[in-house]
Structure 1
Amino acid sequence: MAQTSIQKQEARLKALNQKIKDEKNKLEQKLGKQIISQANLDYANLSNDKIKSLSKKIAEFLKENQAPKQL
């Protein structure tokens, strides 16, 4: 009986972890789509290198603008 209970809990945990992973993927896709849309980028011109370069620039910009301002 205890084994069955543990197996059920493991199954629920796996399902929950998959749901979390799916939600993260959705958010990442929405964010990427919004950035592409707002920047008027052409999907056809987005190579892997261009995507990495843009991602790095966006991340750096966000880090700089989220840091507390020093007087």
Structure 2
Amino acid sequence: RARLGAPKAITATAHKLARIFYTLWTTKQLYRDSGAEYYEQQYKERVIRNLKRKAQELGYTLTLQETPVPGVS
């Protein structure tokens, strides 16, 4: 099963590119890259949401504090 990781990932990437191409082709729109910041923000929100859920399952309350950490965005 571990040997199927790379071929599955390649197939998934090709499928995603095909869907993007098809959508752009049929709607006659230009491709707009969201940028790394967009994906980093989504990742941060997903991590926070998962941590809140896990804390609630364990009976804790999660309090967010916005403190900048050097080297981490």
TM-score bracket relative to the smaller structure: 0.3 to 0.5
- Higher RCO structure, 1 or 2 (CA under 8 Å, sep 6+): 2
Q: Rg: which structure is higher?
A: 1
Q: If each structure's helix is expressed as a fraction of its own residues, which one has the higher value?
A: 1
Q: Structure 1 length as normaliser, TM-score?
A: 0.42
